[in-house]
């Protein structure tokens, strides 16, 4: 056996190659069990828009698992599939027909699926995860810039604060507040406005959601306050209520300046938020709407310090437009419930920096789009899986991967029995043990022979206890 000898502080140590099934992905066994019970892979295989007829072609299931596991393993480029490509343990755990396929096989497979077919295909798989949603929830909308380098199809120069003048894509994503789950994505060129396609995407999501699971409130920032969007929410009873942040235009600032001090609710203390509300009609709106105004004292100077007769105060102002009535939500409640929207910024940060939303770039736009949708699906699956190990707060991928996925292990086989022997420290084993117990209980409690509509819905109905927002929400039905 070929070996190398190195002198270390502990003395001479021989290094030799072994034929044993060793892996650095000991956590994939539990994930494979979760993935099998979810039925997502089976759904993708059954509904795949293309059919592989050649005996030499990599099977659809192998290609899907190759890309999905690459995403789970922090991959952001097609070539990152090489990190897991030759791992025999992964092949056995996921029962692949051949092995993890190469980057060219994945790319050629995706080139055969156009944009519309790819969206329909992955949306169908995403709907399986909708069964984990609470009956009523808040849906957040936002867009992000994914900078591109080159002349890829669909890349256009638009608003790009990080790389001005550089081409980009501008996807629009909706997410569920408190759950870290993404419902849909509208893949758009860089010139697209923040709100382009928002109402169309929302209506599509509402049509696809189960009848007993609907959003009661939509939140978005200043780019979504056009009159056409607001009218769509107001005239359609099936649409949720809305709370959107309003741009501080001259009309809004004029309304703020006309509010007497005694009409601001709350003490005017440093850093404290004061609230009031007005009916305001912007120049681009067809009618007045309820606007909640806020101000926060950020600096105060005495007459001596400012050199003026009365002194000077500087305030930070905010404004929110909503169709909720004061009987449903008071002004301070509107400001409070909007603050929770800040968490959706963390979703984008995680998707772009810890997943591959800004990666997997191809010359063909439909390939880049399909890879981005796979990334979103992988993110949702992992977010649900992590709930078994961290039930009180969301663990971002850079932490959860190290704790519950990446640790050395050996797969041993005795007769027909396979055993994964993992090596982990005591402090991490406690987290793993507790998570494995929850996962095992969930798997045994959702056996297909139980009297439920389908095994998949049964599974996620039981998981629903884990997939709840971290903050209780006040639910308000929309009335005509």
Long-range contacts of 252-261 (CB under 8 A, 24+ apart): 252/280, 252/282, 252/291, 252/293, 252/319, 253/317, 255/280, 255/291, 255/293, 256/293, 256/295, 256/317, 256/319, 259/293
Indicate the range of 297-301, 360-364, 367-371 predicted with least confidence: 297-301
Question: Does pLDDT of 405 surpass 80?
Answer: yes
Query: What is the chain's length?
Result: 480
Question: Does pLDDT of 170 surpass 80?
Answer: yes
pLDDT, greater one: 453 or 342: 342
DSSP assigned state of 263: G
Indicate the range of 189-203, 277-291, 300-314 predicted with least confidence: 300-314
Indicate the average pLDDT of the chain: 86
Query: Could you give the percent of the chain with pLDDT greater than 90?
Result: 50
CA distance 280 to 448: 56
Structure confidence by residue, pLDDT tens digits, 310-368: 556 788 899 999 999 999 999 999 999 998 888 888 888 898 889 989 889 899 999 99
Q: Provide the pLDDT confidence category of residue 301 given band limits of 50, 70 and 90.
A: low
Measured CA distances, 456 to 34, 182, 208, 438 (Å) = 11, 19, 16, 18
Q: Provide the pLDDT confidence category of residue 228 given band limits of 50, 70 and 90.
A: very high
CA distance 406 to 313: 53
Q: Provide the pLDDT confidence category of residue 289 given band limits of 50, 70 and 90.
A: very high
The pair of structure tokens assigned to 37 is 């019970």
pTM: 0.87
Question: Does pLDDT of 135 surpass 90?
Answer: no
Q: Provide the pLDDT confidence category of residue 480 given band limits of 50, 70 and 90.
A: very low
CA distance 35 to 377: 12
pLDDT, greater one: 186 or 424: 186
| Closest to 294 in 3D by CA, of 322, 285, 284 | 322
Please say whether the dihedral angle defined by the alpha carbons of residues 434, 438, 444 and 445, taken in this order, is positive or negative: positive
Measured CA distances, 463 to 46, 379, 400, 457 (Å) = 24, 17, 19, 10
274: CB partners within 8 A, 6+ apart: 264, 265, 266, 267, 268, 294, 295, 296
Q: What average pLDDT does this structure show over 12-18?
A: 86
pLDDT score, position 150? 83
Measured CA distances, 280 to 174, 275, 277, 290 (Å) = 28, 15, 9, 7
Beta strands 156-157 and 167-169, pairing class: antiparallel
């Amino acid at each position: 056996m070929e070996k190398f000898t190195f002198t270390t502080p502990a003395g001479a140590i021989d290094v030799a190659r072994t034929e044993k099934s060793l892996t650095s992905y000991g956590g994939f066994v539990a994930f494979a069990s979760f993935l099998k019970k979810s039925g997502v892979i089976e759904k993708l295989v059954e509904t795949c828009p293309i059919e592989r007829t050649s005996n030499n072609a990599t099977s659809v299931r192998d290609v899907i698992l190759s890309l999905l596991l690459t995403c789970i393993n922090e991959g952001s480029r097609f070539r990152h599939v090489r990190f897991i490509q030759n791992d025999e343990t992964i092949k056995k755990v996921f029962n692949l027909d051949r092995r993890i396929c190469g980057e060219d096989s994945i790319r050629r497979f995706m080139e055969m699926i156009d944009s519309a077919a790819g969206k329909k295909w992955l949306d169908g798989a995403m709907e399986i995860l909708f069964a984990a949603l609470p009956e009523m929830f808040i849906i957040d909308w936002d867009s992000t810039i994914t900078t591109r380098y080159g002349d890829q199809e669909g890349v256009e120069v638009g608003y790009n604060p990080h790389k001005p003048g550089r081409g980009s894509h501008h996807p629009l994503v909706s997410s569920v507040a408190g759950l870290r789950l993404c419902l849909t994505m509208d893949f758009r060129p860089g010139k697209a406005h923040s709100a382009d396609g928002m109402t169309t995407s929302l209506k599509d999501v509402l049509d696809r959601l189960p009848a007993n699971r609907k959003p009661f409130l939509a939140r978005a920032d200043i780019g979504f306050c056009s009159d056409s969007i607001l009218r769509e929410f107001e005239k359609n009873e099936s649409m949720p209520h809305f709370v959107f942040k309003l741009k501080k235009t001259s009309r809004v600032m004029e309304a703020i300046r006309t509010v007497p001090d005694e009409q601001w609710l709350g003490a005017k203390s440093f850093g404290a938020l004061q609230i009031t509300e007005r009916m305001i009609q912007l120049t681009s709106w067809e009618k007045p709407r309820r606007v909640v105004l806020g101000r926060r004292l950020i600096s105060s100077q005495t007459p001596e310090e400012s050199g003026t007769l009365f002194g000077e105060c500087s305030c930070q102002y905010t404004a929110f437009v909503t169709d909720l009535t004061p009987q449903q939500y008071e002004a301070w409640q509107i400001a409070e419930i909007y603050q929770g929207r800040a968490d959706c910024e963390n979703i984008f940060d995680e998707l772009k920096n810890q997943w591959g939303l800004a990666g997997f770039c191809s010359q063909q736009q439909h390939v880049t789009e399909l890879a981005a949708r796979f990334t979103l699906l992988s993110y949702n699956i992992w977010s649900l899986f992590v709930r078994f190990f961290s039930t009180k707060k969301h663990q971002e991928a850079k932490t959860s991967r190290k704790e519950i996925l990446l640790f050395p292990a050996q797969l041993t086989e005795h007769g027909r029995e396979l055993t994964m022997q993992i090596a982990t420290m005591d402090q991490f084993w406690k987290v793993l043990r507790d998570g494995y117990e929850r996962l095992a209980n969930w798997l045994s409690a959702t056996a297909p022979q139980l009297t439920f509509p389908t095994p998949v819905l049964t599974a996620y109905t039981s998981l629903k206890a884990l997939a709840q927002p971290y903050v209780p929400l006040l639910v308000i039905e929309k009335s005509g």
